[in-house]
């Protein structure tokens, strides 16, 4: 179970506005990445985001570059899940591989607004905001193991017996 | 029912017949990475295996910020070179070679039927040669280095059929921009795009690379052409490796089939700030432009530079329009130097950059100030990508970019 506030954005939120290219090819600790999260889309975000907050967006979230920091910076900023109508393919993989929940839910995306309270119950597959309850599309079987292991690195270690 | 190209390639790799929607674990033939190899090395070390599983499958090409623009980038490159030496990786290409998506095919790795994963979204480019090529993230690349394996969902396939021939002044870039404009930046999300139809074989390999490269901008996992005699001849000149051409069965199942009459197309331009915000060039003609970028992995091959040179020969670019030329690779640069294309472009007042990614991703070599506009032949026009967040990026063909450079404002190349 996770409780937080909604940060609402539109369709096609791309990796350049989530984490600009100018920072992409230097190695940065997670807390530094968090300071640049959504810098070119919403300068308020990095200043006011709180651990447990959740991003709610439209279709094709995370389109563009394969840069993993676009998932890592949100995770480092305390975001516990992203709810969207759909995710760009590489972003979806990157988020799973880092253990950041990516939840597909059309209805929640249409209805929720910035500042709304939001609760995600991962086990039950539900998103709750006040009296409203939404079901999210379950993650594919094949990747649940990665999420359960806490991301791909831990999953790979286990696979290799390390 | 028959299988698609992607189903066939992944069936062979998985050792069983698979269908779209299934998840397979496969061993990629090659795993590409670039300057982000430094980050991958960090993840690889976290896994804790001393040696990479299959050194021969790892291809590292430094291209994103070359030569290093500052000390941090220099350290990054140094870390990568040290790792390459320590792990004895045979396929390392340092800063002098060019953009990975041009260099990897030139070096004979982009072969039909191969599975190539790349820690870069435009890895789709190698589909131009009939490879199954898809972008992945850094942690995944580290996991491939450690285990030699990756999980993949077998994609559904969207078939795009091309008919007839381009009119004067219209190119592959215009066709793919129209396609993305008509159907949206997520139309092919998680899917393969099969570029086919009677006119597919008329595209040069350079143009096929432009289309496969831009498949990523429609959300595609991979985009490909079926190799023909042109492809085979090009590859035979670059590799001694054996390969087998794989193609979809005639009764394969497609998610949808789209059809394009190339003869009906006019020059297209993607307007700020999404690649699917596409209009005919005439709709935005006349807008003042402070910078033009001709090159990149999308449109930085000899044919592209020659198109620009034909328009700029004996003329000067507009005084208010900085015009950057970014050849896709050292080999392209050399060819363009030898046939005097570079000379023509330099005499026209263009700035010739070294092969690499540079300004395309806004890391160095010509960023935009607030309020400035660029016409670029690259593949992405997201807000802030090439500089200040209040700058504007328009994407177009090399012909439109060159005509724009001459006039200093967005210009339909057919009017030049």
Q: Give a yes or no: residue A55 inside a domain.
A: yes
Residue in A64, A93, A159 nearest the CB of B140: A93
Task: Compute the count of residue pairs across chains A and B with CB atoms less than 8 Å apart.
Answer: 131
Model confidence over B176-194: pLDDT tens digits?
A: 999 999 999 999 999 999 9
Q: In sequence order, which residues have a C-beta less than 8 Å from that of residue B30 and are 6 or more positions away?
A: B57, B58, B59, B104, B109, B114, B115, B116, B117
* Sequence ranges of chain B with CATH classification 3.30.499.10: 5-260, 268-415
Confidence of residue A145 (pLDDT cuts 50, 70, 90): confident
CATH number of the CATH domain containing A61: 3.20.19.10
Residue A76: give the domain boundaries.
Answer: 2-137
% of chain A surpassing 70 pLDDT = 100
Q: Is the pTM value of this prediction over 0.90?
A: yes
As a whole-number percent, the residues of chain B with pLDDT over 70 amount to 100
Report residue B212's pLDDT band, with 50, 70 and 90 as the boundaries: very high
What residues in chain A have their Cβ under 8 A from chain B's Cβ atoms? 12, 14-17, 20-22, 24-27, 40-41, 59-60, 63-68, 71, 86, 88-90, 93-94, 97-98, 140-143, 151-153, 156-157, 159-160, 162
Provide the mean pLDDT of chain B. Answer: 97
Of A16, A98, A156, the CB nearest to B382: A16
CB-nearest partner of A160 from B39, B147, B361: B147
Chain-chain contact of A89 with B219 (C-beta, under 8 angstroms): yes
Nearest CB among B48, B73, B185 relative to A25 is that of B73
Structure tokens at A140: 């594919």
In a domain, A124, yes or no: yes
Instruction: Look up the CATH superfamily of B5-260.
Output: Aconitase, domain 3 (3.30.499.10)
pLDDT reported for residue A137: 84
Q: Check CB contact under 8 Å for B76 and A25.
A: yes
CA neighbor of B53 nearest in space, from B116, B146, B138, B150: B146
The mean per-residue pLDDT over the stretch B368-397 comes to 97
CB of B320 closer than 8 Å to CB of B184: no
CA distances for A40 relative to A44, A45, A66, A95, B377, angstroms: 10, 10, 18, 20, 23
Residue B274 near chain A (CB below 8 Å) = yes
C-beta of residue B325 within 8 angstroms of C-beta of residue B306: no
3-class DSSP state for residue A128?
strand
CATH fold of B268-415 reads: Aconitase; domain 3 (3.30.499)
Judge: B146–A156 Cβ closer than 8 Å, yes or no: yes
Q: Does residue A25 lie within any of the structural domains?
A: yes
- Is A42 domain-assigned? yes
Q: To the nearest whole percent, how much of chain A has pLDDT over 90?
A: 77
pLDDT at A24: 83
pLDDT tens-place string over residues A49-77: 999 999 999 999 999 999 999 999 999 99
Q: Do B64 and A25 touch (CB under 8 A)?
A: yes
pLDDT in tens, B244-276: 999 999 999 999 999 999 999 999 999 999 999
Distance from CA of A147 to the nearest CA of B (A): 14
Interface of B with A in 196-235 (CB under 8 A): 219, 221
**Nearest partner of B183 among B212, B213, B220, B208, judged by Cα:** B220
B195 vs B6, B70, B169, B199, CA distance in Å?
Answer: 13, 41, 21, 10
The answer to whether residue B116 scores a pLDDT higher than 80 is: yes
Task: Please report where in the chains the tokens 């449109």 appear, as a residue.
Answer: B299
pLDDT at B206: 98
Q: Select the residue from A15, A21, A24, A30 to test the B interface by mutation, using most B Cβ atoms within 10 A.
A: A21
Q: Where are the alpha helices (DSSP H) in B266-329?
A: 281-284, 296-299, 302-312
Residue A131 distance to chain B (closest CA, Å): 32
Q: Domains in chain A: how many in total? A: 1
> Is A128 inside a domain boundary?
yes
A132 band by pLDDT with thresholds 50, 70 and 90: very high
How high is the pLDDT of residue B416? 72
Quick check: is A146 in a domain?
A: no
CB half-sphere exposure, B255, CA atoms < 13 A = 19
Which residue does chain A place closest to B192, by CA atoms? Answer: A89
Is residue A117 in a domain? yes
Q: Nearest Cα to B325, choosing from B303, B307, B342?
A: B342
Residue A161 lies in a domain: no
| Cα–Cα distance measured from residue A82 to residue A99, given in angstroms and rounded to the nearest whole number | 12
Please state, in angstroms and rounded to a whole number, the distance separating the CA atoms of residues B363 and B315.
30
Q: Determine the pLDDT at residue A8.
A: 98
The minimum CA-CA distance between B219 and chain A, rounded to whole Å, is 6
């Amino acid at each position: 179970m996770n409780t937080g506030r909604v940060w609402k954005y539109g369709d096609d939120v791309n990796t350049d506005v989530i984490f600009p290219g100018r920072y992409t090819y230097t190695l940065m600790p997670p807390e530094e990445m968090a300071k640049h999260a959504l810098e070119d889309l919403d300068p308020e975000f990095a200043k006011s985001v709180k651990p447990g907050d959740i991003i709610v967006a439209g279709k094709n979230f995370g389109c563009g570059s394969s840069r993993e920091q676009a998932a890592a910076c949100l995770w480092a900023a305390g975001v516990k899940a992203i709810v969207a109508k759909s995710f760009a393919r590489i972003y979806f993989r990157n988020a799973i591989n880092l253990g950041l929940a990516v939840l597909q839910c059309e209805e929640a995306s249409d209805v929720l607004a910035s500042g709304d309270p939001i609760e995600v119950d991962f086990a039950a597959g539900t998103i709750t905001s006040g009296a409203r309850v939404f079901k999210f599309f379950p993650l594919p079987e094949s990747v649940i193991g990665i999420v359960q292991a806490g991301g791909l690195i831990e999953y790979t270690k286990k696979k290799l017996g390390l | 029912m028959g299988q698609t190209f992607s189903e066939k390639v992944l069936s062979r790799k998985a050792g069983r017949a698979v269908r779209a929607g299934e998840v397979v674990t496969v061993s990629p033939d090659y795993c590409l990475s670039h300057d982000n190899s430094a980050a991958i090395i960090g993840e690889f070390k976290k896994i804790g295996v001393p040696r990479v599983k299959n050194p021969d499958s790892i291809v590292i090409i430094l291209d994103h910020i070359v030569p290093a623009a500052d000390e941090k980038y220099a350290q990054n490159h140094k870390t990568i070179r040290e790792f390459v030496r320590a792990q004895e990786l045979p396929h390392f290409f340092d800063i002098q070679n060019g953009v990975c998506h041009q260099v990897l095919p030139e070096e004979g790795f982009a072969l039909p039927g191969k599975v190539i994963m790349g820690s870069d979204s435009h890895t789709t480019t190698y589909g131009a040669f009939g490879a199954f090529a898809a972008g992945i993230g850094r942690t995944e690349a580290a996991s491939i280095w450690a285990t030699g394996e990756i999980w993949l969902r077998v994609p559904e396939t969207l078939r795009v059929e091309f008919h007839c021939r381009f009119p004067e002044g219209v190119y592959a870039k215009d066709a793919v921009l129209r396609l993305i404009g008509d159907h949206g930046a997520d139309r092919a999300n998680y899917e393969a795009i099969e570029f086919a139809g009677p006119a597919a074989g008329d595209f040069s390999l350079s143009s096929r690379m432009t289309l496969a490269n831009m498949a990523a901008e429609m959300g595609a996992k991979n985009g490909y052409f079926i190799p023909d005699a042109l492809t085979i001849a090009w590859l035979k000149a670059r590799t001694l490796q054996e390969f087998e051409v794989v193609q979809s069965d005639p009764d394969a199942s497609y998610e949808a089939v789209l059809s394009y009459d190339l003869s009906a197309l006019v020059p297209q331009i993607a307007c700020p700030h999404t690649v699917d915000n596409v209009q005919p060039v005439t709709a935005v003609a006349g807008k003042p432009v402070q910078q033009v970028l001709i090159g990149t992995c999308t449109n930085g091959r000899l044919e592209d530079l020659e198109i620009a040179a034909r328009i700029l020969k004996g003329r000067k670019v507009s005084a208010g329009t900085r015009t950057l030329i970014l050849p896709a690779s050292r080999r392209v640069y050399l060819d363009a130097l030898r046939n005097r294309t570079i000379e023509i472009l330099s005499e026209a007042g263009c700035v010739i950059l070294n092969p690499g990614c540079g300004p395309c991703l806004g890391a160095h070599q010509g960023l935009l100030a607030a309020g400035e506009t660029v016409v670029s032949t690259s593949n992405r026009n997201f807000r802030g990508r090439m500089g200040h967040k209040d700058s504007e990026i328009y994407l177009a063909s090399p012909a439109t970019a060159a005509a724009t450079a001459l006039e200093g404002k967005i210009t339909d190349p057919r009017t030049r």
